[in-house]
């Protein structure tokens, strides 16, 4: 397990009911919506080809509405003839979901909408109704297991070193929308508190299996549990394992270096992507882990930052949630 800057691919499986999706070759940034659609429920089967007196193969020619389109009750779905016309109309508001081999049509009511966001800066390499794959260059690290939905946010360090465990008190709403680096281990209390505070995701050396079971249920396994719904579950990436595992300096150092950069957790592959420049931290460095310990200036802890922020009244403020906080608390690489 090591940091690598290279071209990665990230698969984004899509649920049924896709309305629009990014096309192959389209450039995207992490966090962009790459597919959106409707959540549909119990579908109605409507007689199509038989009602029109057609063979099932000919139904497609007579469809007035493309499969996958939203329709309202009474919409003519297919029609034949001129003077003695026969038609098939939508019995309900919903989506024309599927045409069967027999030439029947499924229409399902729409109960919700969904969106899938990119977890990588890059271009769309594959796009169909089942999956959108993005290929792009980033700093990346392969973790052991990840849980919850994909997460995108600013990488933020809340521990003082690789051996430290994050205390629940360090988590508050000011960190909302960020990906928190939690040091050696994050407890169930930290996970639930982070979720309640709207934190995008947690990255740590490990997380206790019993705590993960409390949060994600008894069926969770050591191989992770990617989920789809945003915000319904917290996101946790265990980089090394499940015990309290001190992060090696070769992992923690670059994390500290890149604090403030945009990042994404791709839970299906258990990877953390960080969108920082190639020479982050050290001008001639090929990789963050190659940087010498002495050359590195790890990000200050939140407590230290609070002191700095309080002393520096000229700092520009940024809005996070309902509070204004100095932008020194969200250092970006541009500012270094």
Partner 1 sequence: MTVSTGTGAPVDQTRVALGQPLRIALLHGRGDGSRRTVAHLALASAAEIVASVRASDSRHFVAAAQALREARPEVVVVHADAKDEAPLAELLEALRLGCAAQQPAPRILALVETRLGEALRRRAYPFEFERFADAPALVGTLRALRRAGSDDVVLRDALIEDGARSLAATTATTALAVDVSDRSTSLVLAHPDGQIEAAHLVPLGVGDGADHIVARAGLDNVRRWLPWPIDAPALLERVWSRVRWPAAPSLTEAAILFEMALAREAIAHALRDAAEAGLDVGAMRSAPAILITGRAASFPRGSQSLLVVADGLEPTGVSTVFREPDEGRAERIAMIVSVTLKRAAKVRFMRAAGRSEARVVPGSFGFVAIAGDVDVAVNGPGVRGHGRSGALGVLIDARGRPLSLPARDSERIPAVSGWHEAVGATAAARGTS
Interface residues toward partner 1, by CB under 8 A: 13, 15-16, 40-43, 45, 97-98, 100-102, 106, 108, 128-131, 144, 208-211, 213, 218-219, 221-223, 241-243
Q: Which residue, 79 or 213, is less far from partner 1 as judged by CB?
A: 213
* Non-local CB neighbours of 19 within 8 Å, separated by 6+ positions: 36, 37, 38, 68, 70
Closest approach of partner 1 to the CB of residue 294, in Å: 33
Chain centroid to CA 305: 28
Q: How far is the CB of 241 from partner 1 (least distance, A)?
A: 6
Q: Ramachandran region of residue 119, left (φ > 0), alpha (ψ -120 to 50) or beta?
A: alpha
Report the C-alpha gap between 123 and 23 in whole angstroms: 9
Cβ proximity to partner 1, 129 vs 290, nearer residue: 129
Q: What angle do CA 232, 238, 241 make, to 5 degrees?
A: 140
Least Cβ distance, residue 70 to partner 1 (angstroms):
15
Angle at 146 between CA 258 and CA 38, to 5 degrees: 105
Can you point out the beta strands (E) in 247-298? 262-266, 271-275
Minimal distance, residue 210 CB to partner 1, in Å: 4
Question: Which CB, 220 or 285, lies closer to partner 1?
Answer: 220
- The DSSP element (H or E) to which 93 belongs, if any, is none
- Residue nearer to partner 1 on the CB measure, 176 or 209: 209
Compute the least distance from the CB of residue 196 to partner 1, in Å: 22
Q: Compare residues 140 and 211 and give the one whose CB is closer to partner 1.
A: 211
Residue 17 or 331 having the CB closest to partner 1: 17
Q: What is the closest distance, in whole angstroms, from the C-beta atom of residue 50 to partner 1 in the complex?
A: 15
Nearer to partner 1, 262 or 266 (CB): 266
Q: Closer CB to partner 1, residue 145 or residue 194?
A: 145
Q: What interhelical angle do 209-216 and 188-196 show, nearest 10?
A: 40
Q: C-beta of 117: minimal distance to partner 1 in Å?
A: 19
What are the backbone dihedrals phi and psi of residue 195, each rounded to the nearest 5 degrees, phi first? -65, -45
Both structure tokens of 176? 């909302």
Of the candidates 236, 274, 278, 283, the one whose C-alpha atom is nearest the C-alpha of residue 255 is 274
CB of 96 to partner 1, least distance (A): 12
Torsion of CA 140, 145, 151, 154, to 10 degrees: -50
């Amino acid at each position: 397990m090591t940091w690598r800057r290279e071209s990665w691919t990230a698969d984004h499986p899509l649920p049924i009911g896709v309305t629009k999706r990014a096309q192959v070759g389209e450039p995207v940034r992490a966090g962009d919506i790459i597919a959106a659609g409707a959540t549909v429920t119990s579908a109605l089967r409507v007689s199509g080809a038989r009602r029109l007196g057609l063979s099932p193969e000919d139904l497609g020619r007579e469809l007035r509405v493309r499969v996958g389109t939203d329709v309202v009750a009474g919409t003519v779905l297919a029609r034949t003839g001129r003077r003695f016309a026969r038609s098939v109309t939508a019995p309900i508001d919903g989506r024309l979901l599927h045409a069967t081999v027999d030439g029947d049509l499924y229409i399902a009511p729409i109960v919700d909408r969904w969106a899938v966001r990119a977890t990588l800066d890059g271009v769309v390499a594959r796009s169909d109704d089942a999956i959108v794959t993005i290929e792009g260059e980033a700093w990346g690290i392969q973790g052991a297991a990840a849980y919850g939905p994909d997460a995108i946010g600013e990488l933020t360090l809340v521990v003082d070193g690789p051996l430290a465990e994050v205390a629940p008190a360090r988590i508050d709403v000011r960190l909302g929308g960020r990906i928190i680096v939690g040091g050696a281990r994050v407890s169930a209390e930290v996970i639930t508190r982070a979720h309640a505070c709207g934190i995008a995701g947690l990255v740590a050396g490990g997380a206790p299996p019993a705590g993960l079971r409390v949060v994600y249920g008894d069926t969770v396994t050591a191989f992770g549990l990617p989920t789809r719904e945003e915000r319904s579950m917290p996101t946790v990436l265990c980089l090394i394992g499940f015990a309290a595992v001190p992060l090696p300096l070769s992992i923690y150092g670059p994390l500290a270096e890149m604090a403030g950069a945009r990042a994404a957790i791709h839970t299906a592959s258990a990877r953390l992507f960080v969108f920082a420049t190639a020479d982050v931290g050290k001008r001639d460095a090929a990789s963050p882990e190659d940087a010498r310990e002495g050359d590195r200036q790890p990000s200050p802890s939140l407590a230290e930052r609070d002191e700095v922020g309080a002393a520096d009244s000229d700092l520009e403020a940024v809005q996070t949630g309902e509070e204004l906080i100095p932008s020194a608390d969200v250092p970006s690489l541009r500012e270094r």
